[in-house]
Structure formats: C-alpha cells, structure tokens
Amino acid sequence: MAERGDIIIGIDAGTSVIKAVAFELSGRQIASASVRNRYVTGEDGSATQSLEQTWRDCASALRGLGEKVENLAGRTAALAVTGQGDGTWLVGSGDAPVGDAWLWLDARAAPTVTRLAETSQNRARFEATGTGLNTCQQGVQLAHMNRFRPELLDRAETALHCKDWLYLNLTGVRATDPSEASFTFGNFRDRQYDDVVIEALGLRSRRSLLPEIIDGTEMTHPLSDTAAAATGLLAGTPVSLGYVDMVMTALGAGVRSSGENSACSTIGSTGVHMRAKAVPDVQLNAEGTGYVIALPIPGIVTQVQTNMGSTINIDWLLGIAGELMAEAGKEVAHSELVARVDDWFARSRPSPLLYHPYISEAGERGPFVNAYARAGFTGLSTRHGFPDLVRAVVEGLGMATRDCYAAMGDMPRELRITGGAARSSALRGTLSAAVNAPLRVSKREETGAAGVAMMAAVAIGAYRTMDDCIADWVTPLLGDLEKPDADQAARYDTLFSAYVQVRQAVAPAWNVLAGVSPR
C-alpha cells in the first residue's frame, strides 16, 4: 500500500459471535460488526464447527464493518485475528478442511485425558507447558484421534486452531502463534515446541502436523487477492496473527498496565482467571492443573485457571424459566430474563445455599480437571424460591472464581473484569467480595478485538513496545475501583470453605454417575 491508513481492524472469532472491530491507531473504537457463530453438539459429547462456514462468517463480519465505515479498505493500516482457543482445525491438501473442527467444548477426548494423565511422562510435559491436560486441548484431541480416528490425521497436513485457520484464509500462510503452540506442545519459557511434550502426548509420528510458530507483533503477511475479494479490503494490507483470545481479552481489559502486572477475570461463556507474571514468578501446582499462556510481551506470561462453564450456568437456569413461561403461554426473550438477574438477586435473602457451576457437558477444567464433574445445588429447602436459585448461581460463579485464584497463590490485590456478565452489578459485587479485593471493569467495549488490534499496532510500528500501546489503549479505560462489601466478604469466607468441602466429597459420585450415563 502506498500510504499507511489510520484504522486497525481486530477480528475476534469467539465461540458465540465473530466480531470485526475498527479502531483508530490511538485505540478509539470506531465501529463494529458481528455475525453469530454456529456449532453443533452431539449425544456423543462432540462439539463441532464447519471451517468453511467460519471463514464465510468472518468475511461477512468484515464486509459488514465495511458498510459502517466509509472507505474502510483505503483507511485500513492492518488487521489482526484472534479466536476461541484449543480445539482442532485440520487442513489437508490444497488447504481443504479435513472434516469439521473439534471445538474446545468437545468432550470426546475425556478417556484420553485420563490415560495420558497417568503416564510417567506427564509431569515433565506439565513442567514444560505449565498446562494441565483437559479435553479441550488440541494435544489431547490429536492423541485421541491418533488412536480412534487415525484416518482423520492421515488425511491432514496441518493441525490449526480457529484463528490460525482464519489467518490461512486471509494470507495463504499456515502458522500458529507462540501462546497456543507453547501451552499445548511446547515450553512457556522459550515459546517453542518441545520434543518432551510431543513425546508425552504420543504424537512423535504426527510431528509434521504442527505448523510454524510466528509472532504477530513481529511479523505480518499481506492480505491475499482471494481474501481481499471476499472481505472488501485491499490486497496487500498487513495481517497480524494474534495470540489465543483468552489473553487478547485480558490484554485489552488491563491484565497489565503502567508496566505493572495485574489480575484479570473474563466472565463469559467460560470463566478465565489470570495473573500476568514474569516467567521466573510462575508457580506450577502439585496437582498439575491450569494454563500458562504467553502474552505478546517479551518475558511476560499469564498464569491461568479457567472454570469451564461460567455464564452458561446463568443461561441454563434462565432457559428453564423461559421454557416454563412459554409453556404457560408467555414467551419471554432470553435477553429480558438476563436483564432481571440483578433484580432477582436483590430480592433474595443471603442463605446457606450453594451452587457448583459445573453445568458444561465437558465437566470442569479449573482448578481441578474432571470431565465427569456436574453442577448441583446444596442446601435447598422449601423456603427457597427462584430468586434464591439465581443468587446461588451468581454466588457459585464467585466461589468458582475464588477457587481458581486460590489455586494460583494469594488472592489478587485488585481484580480487573470483563465479559458479558460484568454488566451485572450483582455479579460484580459477588466477585469482589468472593476474592475480597476491589475490582475495575474496563470501559473498553470489545476487549478481545482491541487486544489483538494492539498486536498489529506494534507490528506496523505505530507503537515501539506493547507497554507504550497499553498506555494509550488500556490505561485510560480502566474503570473506577469498586470496593468489596465487608459483611458479604465474611459470609463468602464461610460459604467458600463449604463449597470446597462439597466438591471434594461429591467427586467420587461423578465417576459413578458417568458409568451409568448413556455415553
């Protein structure tokens, strides 16, 4: 391109929505366009998504953005792409998909997690990656396919993640980023593949499936002619491959600011709780759980615990209420029920009612891993009504957050939060009291898209370092400090101790129940 434009586009291909967001080079959001994502779940625990459809949806979101911003193509200095992490997106000859992608929500590899976790090499694998095995991950899914669906791997040339697939369509380059490469197959210290890890996963014979690792703050590839035609952007526009969405969101929401590391929780479909740290400060736990995910800042990583299901618990409870109301002849939109959560919470009285939010079909992954873990209320009595159940679910998300931070050392001194449920004042108050720390909600609307756009901003030299970029894009948008309520914090101390006791006591029963389930 002859002259550099004044817009950076961040693409965030999430599990529920694919967004394309335009930012000024200094970080101000100009416009956004989105397309609802589609995936299919099956009785066998599968959760799959069409690769072609995902690219079409991404291109459609970009064209939608073009309809909102005049001369978007001419003004775009660069674009960058992130997306839902883990999962397996296989491509073969001519870059054609090999079947549908297995998403991070796919539970089919559960028996392979159990088998690999029991091997003598697993601790060495954990110490390299910093990451415990769970059903979501590509390493486990490839190991599972290698045993039970080898024909898939025989047809595949490269194993990609969601954002890598979109990058391939945008640029024609097969690559992955340092974060997913190192937490799945490598070492978080040097951000490269590690043969010890590949061996521990039993994937030596499939090593050639792993693509080149590139860092999107250091290099870009030009938008291809085909992608330009599909998206309405100009061929040659630099494209940056982002890190996995979990850290892009946290980067945009303030997991680091003013050169200081902080803590950040994303309360979306899944709950992601992380602390930015220098590599030597990472503490690997004895249980071998959690993730260590690199940030696009030299020497800085995030230590992460992620509870599989967060707002899907709220959506499940509200979904049941909605179905009952519909049966009684009163259709209510889901969004209307979501808007009433704070009201129900306020109408309920604190009581010793616990909810464990393991509603995902794939069980739990943080701070403990059990594909058969399932949700439950403890302490119900006839005095409890629907608002009490809503309160218990919201408080359950607070307990799960504390459980995750407790597995990473001391509670954070300040918590930054983002994700859909951060809109709820009940949830904010609960999280703050559950970890007994003040919190801030970023005023940034699209934290994931902003995080990845920041990588492109550094790549094209709009900023010299990521910390310089953070000073403009993140720090001014950190919201006001919201302090915890002391009485609520004291109550949650008691609830939390019971919460941990119950989950530990009930765990053996999950395995028994899994044995009698149809799967």
Ligand X SMILES: O=P(O)(O)OC[C@H](O)[C@H](O)CO
Ligand Y SMILES: Nc1ncnc2c1ncn2[C@@H]1O[C@H](COP(=O)(O)OP(=O)(O)O)[C@@H](O)[C@H]1O
State the minimum distance, in angstroms, from the CB of residue 349 to ligand Y: 19
Q: Note whether 315 binds ligand Y by CB under 6 A.
A: yes
Rounded alpha-carbon distances, angstroms, from residue 364 to 181, 249, 250:
23, 21, 21
Task: Check residue 483 and report its DSSP letter.
Answer: P
Element (H or E) spanning 243, and its range?
Answer: none
Residue 136 binds which entry of ligand X, ligand Y, none, CB below 5-8 Å type-dependent: ligand X
User: What's the CA gap between 90 and 92, in Å, rounded?
Assistant: 7
Residue 104 binds which entry of ligand Y, ligand X, none, CB below 5-8 Å type-dependent: ligand X
**In degrees rounded to 5, what are phi and psi of residue 97?**
-60, 145
Residue, CB closest to ligand Y: 420
State the minimum distance, in angstroms, from the CB of residue 15 to ligand Y: 5
CB burial of residue 114 (10 Å; 0-12, 13-18, 19+) = middle
DSSP labels for 61-114?
A: HHHHHHHHSTTHHHHEEEEEEEE--SSBEEE-GGG-B-SSEEPTT--TTHHHHH
Beta carbons within 8 Å of 150's beta carbon, 6+ residues apart: none
Residue 338 binds which entry of ligand Y, ligand X, none, CB below 5-8 Å type-dependent: ligand Y
Q: Specify the residue, 247 or 318, whose C-beta has the smaller distance to ligand X.
A: 247
Q: Note whether 84 binds ligand X by CB under 6 A.
A: yes
Q: Which of 217, 262, 311, 348 binds ligand Y (CB under 6 A)?
A: 311
User: Are 48 and 106 contacting, i.e. CB atoms less than 8 angstroms apart?
Assistant: yes
User: What's the CA gap between 143 and 442, in Å, rounded?
Assistant: 39
Q: Note whether 421 binds ligand Y by CB under 6 A.
A: yes
State the minimum distance, in angstroms, from the CB of residue 225 to ligand X: 30
- Scanning the structure block, which residue is given the tokens 């979101």? 61
Q: Note whether 82 binds ligand Y by CB under 6 A.
A: no
Contact window for ligand X (CB under 6 A) among 54-62, 81-89, 175-183, 397-405? 81-89
Strands 376-378 and 291-294: unpaired
Q: Note whether 265 binds ligand X by CB under 6 A.
A: no
User: What's the CA gap between 351 and 391, in Å, rounded?
Assistant: 9
Q: Which of 27, 45, 268, 290 binds ligand X (CB under 6 A)?
A: 268
Q: Note whether 136 binds ligand X by CB under 6 A.
A: yes
User: What's the CA gap between 296 and 248, in Å, rounded?
Assistant: 9
User: Are 163 and 211 contacting, i.e. CB atoms less than 8 angstroms apart?
Assistant: no
Q: Note whether 15 binds ligand X by CB under 6 A.
A: yes
State the minimum distance, in angstroms, from the CB of residue 34 to ligand X: 13
Q: How far is CA 186 from the centre of its chain?
A: 19
Beta carbons within 8 Å of 224's beta carbon, 6+ residues apart: 170, 171, 172, 235
Please report, in angstroms and rounded to a whole number, the separation of the first and last CA atoms in the chain. 55
Q: Note whether 85 binds ligand Y by CB under 6 A.
A: no
Residue 341 binds which entry of ligand Y, ligand X, none, CB below 5-8 Å type-dependent: ligand Y
Q: Specify the residue, 246 or 297, whose C-beta has the smaller distance to ligand X.
A: 246
User: Are 416 and 440 contacting, i.e. CB atoms less than 8 angstroms apart?
Assistant: yes
Tell me, residue by residue from 171 to 200, as one string, x for binding to ligand X by CB under 6 A and - for no binding: ------------------------------
User: What's the CA gap between 49 and 99, in Å, rounded?
Assistant: 9
Task: Check residue 238 and report its DSSP letter.
Answer: E
**In degrees rounded to 5, what are phi and psi of residue 406?**
-60, -30
Q: Note whether 165 binds ligand X by CB under 6 A.
A: no
State the minimum distance, in angstroms, from the CB of residue 245 to ligand X: 5
Q: Which of 10, 14, 45, 296 binds ligand X (CB under 6 A)?
A: 14
State the minimum distance, in angstroms, from the CB of residue 164 to ligand X: 13
State the minimum distance, in angstroms, from the CB of residue 173 to ligand X: 22
State the minimum distance, in angstroms, from the CB of residue 292 to ligand X: 14
Q: Note whether 419 binds ligand Y by CB under 6 A.
A: yes
Q: Which of 8, 15, 25, 206 binds ligand Y (CB under 6 A)?
A: 15
Q: Which of 220, 424, 432, 447 binds ligand Y (CB under 6 A)?
A: 424
Tell me, residue by residue from 41 to 80, as one string, x for binding to ligand X by CB under 6 A and - for no binding: ----------------------------------------
Residue 387 binds which entry of ligand Y, ligand X, none, CB below 5-8 Å type-dependent: none
State the minimum distance, in angstroms, from the CB of residue 253 to ligand Y: 11
User: What's the CA gap between 316 and 260, in Å, rounded?
Assistant: 38
State the minimum distance, in angstroms, from the CB of residue 116 to ligand X: 17
Q: Specify the residue, 175 or 375, whose C-beta has the smaller distance to ligand Y.
A: 375
Q: Specify the residue, 369 or 460, whose C-beta has the smaller distance to ligand X.
A: 369
User: Are 122 and 141 contacting, i.e. CB atoms less than 8 angstroms apart?
Assistant: no
3-state helix vs strand vs coil in the chain, percent to 5: 45, 20, 35
Strands 212-213 and 415-418: unpaired
Q: Which residues contact ligand Y by CB under 6 A?
A: 14-17, 268-269, 311, 314-315, 338, 341, 419-421, 423-424, 427
Q: Which residues contact ligand X by CB under 6 A?
A: 14-15, 84-86, 104, 136, 244-246, 268-270
